[in-house]
Every structure is written in structure tokens, then in C-alpha cells.
Amino acid sequence: MGAVMVKVNAVTKDYRMGKIKVPALRGVDLTIASGEMVAIMGPSGSGKSTLMNILGCLDRPTSGRYELDGEEVSQKSDRQLADIRNRKIGFIFQSFNLFPQLTALENVELPLIYRGLATGVRRARAEAALVRLGLKERLHHRPQELSGGQQQRVAIARAVAAEPEVVLADEPTGALDSRSGEEILAVFQELHAQGITVIMVTHDPNVACHCERILRLADGVIVADDQVRQEDYLVAQEVLAALPVPVEVEGDAQA
């Protein structure tokens, strides 16, 4: 086990609905090593997205501690959290969250602006990320001119262009057909192979078994934390290895 990337201690999260308190996390303890690839599963409402939002510094715990890459982050200000997100985290959502009025290239470039990179460097990095995800012919398309799988690949390009240490994905394949979903998984495997920590929420056991470890949440607590059986993991690896890297379908290359 390498260096610790994520260390969560006794984290709770209550949402407030007027006078009513909704407990979403009720004491989560969790350690994830740098470079691990982890799936989070559990029924609807069990707290998966709430936990991901905390891990991704999009939200703070109500109580407890969260150390990301050795740094205690649970008490940071919004500004500090935004800065940490920008430096360390790539977040991928089920619904892609792309800006509809921006092209693929502009969507990927946007977070790099906050990094203070020069225009040329920014553009080159964004383009390289999109090319790597098989979207060379789609740089100037807007989201509605792309398929769901392509939109998700733009979202992944956006997440990885900033060279994050942790990629967090909340049901990244939830809105995709199984073929597009497998392409997305192949990309995550590649990130994992590069040593990036990958944490993803999924409802699909076939997706989860592409990870090395599966956490299960129920009612705001972790109820199971299992290593994926080696033979399941290997079968999943073989399925992925048989897939070509995402490329534009033939006859589909006109911009």
C-alpha cells in the first residue's frame, strides 16, 4: 500500500430542510491509498453522492475529519476548497455538466484558465486531452452535437487536462449504453495505470468489478469494504484489453 490519498475519520453529514435534519452520512471511516481504483456502491439515498461531494471538496462534513493527500480539508473556506479542487481533483458527473454554449475544446479549456496557464499552453493541453480520448474530429462541436458517450469523454478530458491526483466519478456510465460505458471504463483503467487515484460510484456490479476494491454504503455508513476477487478482476481486464482505444467510428469523421 502506497501513500495515503484519502483519510476520512468519523465523518457525518446532515442536510437541513427547514427545521428538519436529514442525516446523509452517519459516521464514515475510510482510507484510500494513492493510486487505488475503488468503486462505491449502495442503494439510492445511502449517501454515495454526499460522500463523493465531500471527497471532492465540493462540500464539507458536518463533523469528523477529512485529510486529502495529507492535508486536513474539512475546515477550509470555500475559496481554499476551490483551490484544492482545482489543483488535485477531477470530478466527473453522470449528467456530464458541460456548458452547452461552449465547444468541446472550450469546455476542456475552462478550468485551465483558473490555473493561470497562458492561452497557448491551455489550448494545447485541452486539445491533447481531447485527442487522447478519441475526439480529434469533435473539438469544435457543442455538447448537443455530440453523443452521450462523446459528451462524457469531453467531461473526462476536462477532468484530466488539469492533471489531477484524484479522479472522482459519480455514476459516470449511468447515462450511457454498455458499449460507451466500457470505453469510459477503459479510460479510467488507463488513468489508474498512470497512478491516478480513481474513485467511482456505480449501481452496476459489472462496472464495479473493473475496480480493485468495492465499498458498500447503506443508510449513511460503510457496511462492506471488499477487494474484488482476483479472477473477476482479471476477466474484466481481458474484456477491456480486447477493446480498441476510443476512436471515431468509420464514416463518422466529418466535422
Binding site for ligand ATP (CB under 6 A): 15, 17, 22, 24, 42, 44-50
Query: What are the C-alpha distances in Å from 147 to residues 32, 96, 98, 126, 154?
Result: 33, 11, 13, 19, 11
Given the complex with ligand ATP, which of 44 and 77 has the nearer CB atom?
Answer: 44
Given the complex with Mg ion, which of 14 and 165 has the nearer CB atom?
Answer: 14
Nearest to 150 by CA among 242, 251, 249: 249
Smallest gap from Cβ 193 to ligand ATP, in A, equals 28
Smallest gap from Cβ 6 to ligand ATP, in A, equals 17
Given the complex with ligand ATP, which of 125 and 213 has the nearer CB atom?
Answer: 213
From Mg ion, ligand ATP, none, interface partner of 180 (C-beta below 5 to 8 A by class):
none
- The single residue listed with the C-alpha cell 491526483 is 165
Smallest gap from Cβ 230 to Mg ion, in A, equals 29
Smallest gap from Cβ 47 to Mg ion, in A, equals 9
Smallest gap from Cβ 198 to ligand ATP, in A, equals 18
C-beta separation of 91 from 83 below 8 A: no
Given the complex with ligand ATP, which of 210 and 216 has the nearer CB atom?
Answer: 216
Given the complex with ligand ATP, which of 48 and 153 has the nearer CB atom?
Answer: 48
Given the complex with Mg ion, which of 135 and 217 has the nearer CB atom?
Answer: 217
Q: 3-class SS at 182? A: helix
Smallest gap from Cβ 81 to ligand ATP, in A, equals 17
H or E element in which residue 11 lies: strand 4-17
Determine the Cα–Cα distance for residues 59 and 53; give it in Å rounded to an integer: 6
Task: Compute the Cα dihedral for 142, 147, 152, 154 and give only its sign.
Answer: negative
What are residue 140's phi and psi, to 5 degrees? -105, 15
CB-CB neighbours of 14 under 10 Å: 16
Sites of contact with Mg ion (CB under 5 A): 48-49
Question: What distance lies between CA 250 and its chain's CA centroid?
Answer: 29
From ligand ATP, Mg ion, none, interface partner of 173 (C-beta below 5 to 8 A by class):
none
Residue nearest to Mg ion according to CB distances in the complex: 49
Q: 3-class SS at 121? A: helix
